[in-house]
Chain A
Amino acid sequence: MSVTKLEPDAQGHFGPYGGRYVPETLMAPLEDVERAWMQSREDSSFQAELSDLLKNFAGRPTALYEAKRLAEALGGARIFLKREDLLHTGAHKINNCLGQVLLAKRMGKRRVIAETGAGQHGVATATVCALFGMECVVYMGEEDMARQRLNVFRMRLLGARVVGVGYGSKTLKDAISEAMRDWVTNIATTHYLLGSALGAHPYPVMVRDFHRCIGEEARAQMLERTGRLPDTVFACVGGGSNAIGAFHAFLPDAQVELVGVEAGGHGIRPGEHAARFHGGAPGVLQGSRSYLLQDGDGQVLLTHSVSAGLDYAMVGPEHAWLHDQGRASYTYCEDGAALRAALQLSRTEGIIPALESAHGLAEAIRRAPGEPGKVFLVNLSGRGDKDIDIYRAVFPELDGDEPAGDTPQGGTA
């Protein structure tokens, strides 16, 4: 592996990926966002305000926790968890939302729109809008609203309007399309607070930069705690924001293996999964060029994952670039393995993870027994409160008046 280029070109290309593929009406607004973001990077008062919010509102830096009982049960690699689940609102998403809401304020926007899959980005957006007194509209697929009901209510409690999207796959992809339609109609007043390292330039690089703190903190914490870098960093990959945030600080450390874990859903068959690197091909969707699950006619395929946050047909363009260069590798984890990983972490460490995060964790669990002496870092991107309804359905033996089994089988969802 030669040196990895860390930044996209001026048009937002990561090699052949990324770029800006939107209707002409959105080109100027994207240029405005890019300009505001570039200025904010040089602006010390912006940076100071953001740092203060990350520390005192969101709770950064997050802990690095060694999961000793889990590692002991597996017998092999040491496992460290980067605890993004401890952040305010329960996931890494708040990092990006705080950054972008400050940008929106600087651009004089009064209204913020967002898409959400698992609802974590929607909750984080609703939270920062409440904090800054901005109008907030969140688009969410109706299937996701049904499976992440708790988060729908949280958003409403925070004063946001949640708009259900009832066409297409009724999941994240359709929520993004609807948010883009809103944006193009209301660009004068509205900032589109996109929630992953996806979409047209500058979003992929901007969202990454707002999450870069994850890897920067974890790298320093690992060095301080163990005197060395981890051998492998694991993260789940939906659009790719928590993973790119965790990976980025390690890109120059060629000896550190980076592993992204996509949603294998019911297995790698068309329409049954969301593993873009396992059946996808380069294509263009919703502003960006990257690996896309599509059919032979260029129509986007439906996807499935038990985890709403990973249930999306395209991966962020920087991951496509890291994949093609071989700097990061991408595997997948099926629904059942993710559910079992979530249960195992809950039982060994007292940490109930988000279903998304459980995908990254599951791959570390799978590999740990065979790699004694190795040090693993897993980005635990969020907590599992939002997934309680799903866990209840999958582990019925724990529900009801007198829970019977203390070791549920699960994993058959």
Chain B
Amino acid sequence: MSRIGELFTRKRAEKKPVLIGYITAGDPSPERMPSLIAALERGGVDLIELGVPFSDPVADGPVIMKASERALAAGMTLAKVLDLARAVRLQSEIPLLLFSYLNPVMRYGFSKLAADAKAAGADGCLLTDLSVEEADEFVAPLREAGLDTVFLAAPTSPPERLRRVADHSSGFVYLVSRTGVTGEQSRLSASVGPLVESLRARTALPLAVGFGISTPEQARETARLADGVVVGSAFVRIVEAQGAGPGLEPALEAFARALKTGMEG
């Protein structure tokens, strides 16, 4: 079983929710990332989504959009994200999910990515703008290499699509909490409950909910429904505020801990 699968199995046995943290790789700098990830792990993040920056992030709100711009300006590339995974593996067994738009991955080559990501110690990949209809050339080589492929399920997805999303996913299914782009929100969307239920009826895979979760209270509410909670923009906003300053790691760690405490409380 993959690190991702093992994580969810273990947490399920402990009856504890999984905290998933998204950060944009390369922000504030490629070199700083291992220490950032270590801080998140100390704070209680169980799984890291490593955002591969893209020039045209249509699914992202302003916070992650600006982070992608900063990361690209700092010289981040998919190849360097794999270097980062390798560096993290020297210090940690935390599951790593690559989180990217399709074009950088297509340009790199699906088979090459599968081989290199596996060798680097990454555990899976999610491509935001890859629909299940177009996914075969991606899923086959990744699965063959023993990597997980995670797909998005949305509040707009009809039942038939939810089934196909689950069929193409391994590790877990990522539920988009609301119709919109990434970014914080003040209240958890009402569409989460029904979406979770609808997917539960179609798959035994663990379910993680993301998009817009930014406070310990929202994390707690979400954890009551799903197996995992994804927090992205709220972490990235801390990176934006702290920049390369010395307060970055302590701030990330403290916020992760607050989320984790909230979730488990």
Contact = CB atoms under 8 A, between A and B. Distances in A.
B181 A294 contact: no
Interface range on chain B: under 10, 10 to 19, 20 to 34, or 35 or more?
35 or more
Given A21-B129, A25-B154, A300 B134 contact: no
A24 B180 contact: no
A24 B165 contact: yes
A42 interface: no
Given A27-B157, A28-B161, A299-B72, A22 B107 contact: no
Contacts of A177: 56-58
A405 interface: no
B106 A284 contact: yes
Nearest to A29: B156
Contacts of A406: none
B2 interface: no
A27 B156 contact: yes
A294 B101 CA distance: 14
Interface string B55-99: 111110100010001001000011100000000000000000000
A394 interface: no
A402 interface: no
A180 interface: yes
Contacts of B56: 168, 173-174, 177, 285-286, 300
B58 to A, nearest CB: 5
Interface in A15-33: 19-29
Contact of A27 (B57, B103, B131, B180): B131
Given A181-B61, A297-B77, A285 B152 contact: no
B176 A24 contact: yes
Contacts of A174: 56
Contacts of A168: 55-56
Contacts of A56: none
A292 B54 CA distance: 14
A15 B105 CA distance: 21
Contact of B134 (A21, A173, A294): A21
B247 interface: no
Interface residues of A, number: 36
Q: Taking each of B133, B153, B156, which has the highest tally of chain A beta carbons within 10 Å of its own beta carbon?
A: B156
B165 A185 contact: no
A132 interface: no
Interface string A93-112: 00000000000000000000
B156 A21 contact: no
A168 B134 CA distance: 27
A173 B165 CA distance: 29
Contacts of B104: 297-299
Contacts of A27: 131, 154, 156-157, 161
Contacts of B154: 23-25, 27-28
A66 B136 CA distance: 51
A296 B108 CA distance: 8
B105 A298 contact: yes
B107 A25 contact: no
Interface string B28-72: 000000000000000000000000001111110100010001001
B155 interface: yes
A167 B65 contact: yes
Interface in A285-309: 285-287, 289, 292, 294, 296-300
B55 A300 contact: yes
A11 B179 contact: no
A325 to B, nearest CB: 21
Given A28-B157, A185-B180, A298 B128 contact: no
Q: Taking each of A24, A168, A297, which has the highest tally of chain B beta carbons within 10 Å of its own beta carbon?
A: A24
A181 B56 CA distance: 11
A271 interface: no
A61 interface: no
A31 B181 CA distance: 20
Contacts of A294: 103, 107
B258 interface: no
Interface of B: 54-59, 61, 65, 69, 72, 77-79, 101-108, 128-131, 133-134, 151-158, 161, 165, 176, 179-181
13 contacts: A20-B133, A22-B58, A23-B129, A24-B131, A25-B152, A27-B157, A28-B156, A28-B161, A185-B180, A292-B103, A298-B106, A299-B55, A300-B103
